[in-house]
Structure 1
């Protein structure tokens, strides 16, 4: 099995790497179990005989790992939502989301320092308690990493500390009391 790794920096630059050696692939996939720590402290080092690149964790917006097998089981899920990156074709489609019973469907656009934008679909179960729903909404910037699925297979990891904002469509009905209510013009 081969994997492709794309590192997207806060300068909105992408660097792509490929690994085909099964032993090296397994070692890299094993390290995904500690993916919650990928943006805290130690630099990300990707090397080969040809060159070695060292990335500052603060300068990484996202790391995407494409693979033919399901990698989502290797990364901790910190949300009650499944996030999936949208293709350009999916973005062009009309979107109808909202809450049906306990099921939630929305689009979330994540904006990063340097201009990178990650557009996702989000589906999951609505938390029963208002306090839990508000906590999920407001604590995204405080998480160590946020995982998402790639439409072509594989997973991505977002660096919440490199995010500048995110937009949820349709709007959230249960806002905190101190939220400012206003329409976008």
Structure 2
């Protein structure tokens, strides 16, 4: 099995690596099992016989893993939310969101330090209690890591500490009392 790894930094630079060999890929899968700690602690080091790169964890926006094998069972649970990177065709289509009963489907665009943007389709179970829905809305930035699926297979991990803002379309119907009500100008 091979794993393609992409590290995106707050400098809006993407570095790509290819991992082959069972020992190397097993080590990466083991790291995915501890994905909630991906952006804390020691630097991320990716090395080979020809070079070694060291990334400060605080400067990592996203780490993406592409593989023929489904890697989603190895990452931390996304609670009641599944994020999938949008394809160019989905990005070109008008935004269609759904808030029906217990189900929702919306577009969420994440904007990161350095300019990287991650366009996702979010689907999940809408919590019955208003307090839980508001907590879901505001807790994105408090999580240690958020996972998402790549459009053509694989998983990604985003560092919420590097998110400058996120945009939900259509807008959330339930807003906190202290939210400012205004339209984009």
TM-score per shorter chain, which class? over 0.9
Correspondence for 2:57 = 57
Correspondence for 1:6 = 6
Q: CA deviation at 1:142?
A: 0.9
User: Counterparts in 2 of 1:49-128, with a 5 A limit?
Assistant: 49-128=49-128
Q: Kindly indicate whether residue 60 of structure 2 is the aligned counterpart of residue 24 of structure 1.
A: no
Correspondence for 1:142 = 142
> Greater CA deviation, 95-104 or 61-70?
95-104
Q: CA deviation at 1:95?
A: 2.7
| Aligned equivalents of 1:42, 1:135: Cα separation in 2 | 30
Q: CA deviation at 1:98?
A: 1.9
Partner secondary structure for residue 173 of structure 1: coil
Check whether the contact 2:95–2:170 (CA below 8 A) recurs between aligned residues: no
Q: CA deviation at 1:80?
A: 1.1
Q: Which runs of 5+ in 1 are unaligned?
A: none
Correspondence for 2:156 = 156
Q: Which of structure 1's runs of 4+ aligned residues deviate more than 4 A?
A: none
Residues 15-71 of structure 1 deviation map (CA, whole Å, 9 limit, x = unaligned) = 000011122111111110101101012111100001010000111000000011111
Partner secondary structure for residue 50 of structure 1: coil
| Aligned equivalents of 1:129, 1:152: Cα separation in 2 | 35
Q: Kindly indicate whether residue 17 of structure 2 is the aligned counterpart of residue 34 of structure 1.
A: no
Residues 59-97 of structure 1 deviation map (CA, whole Å, 9 limit, x = unaligned) = 100000001111111111233110001121210122311
Check whether the contact 2:95–2:169 (CA below 8 A) recurs between aligned residues: no
Partner secondary structure for residue 90 of structure 1: helix
Number of aligned residues: 185
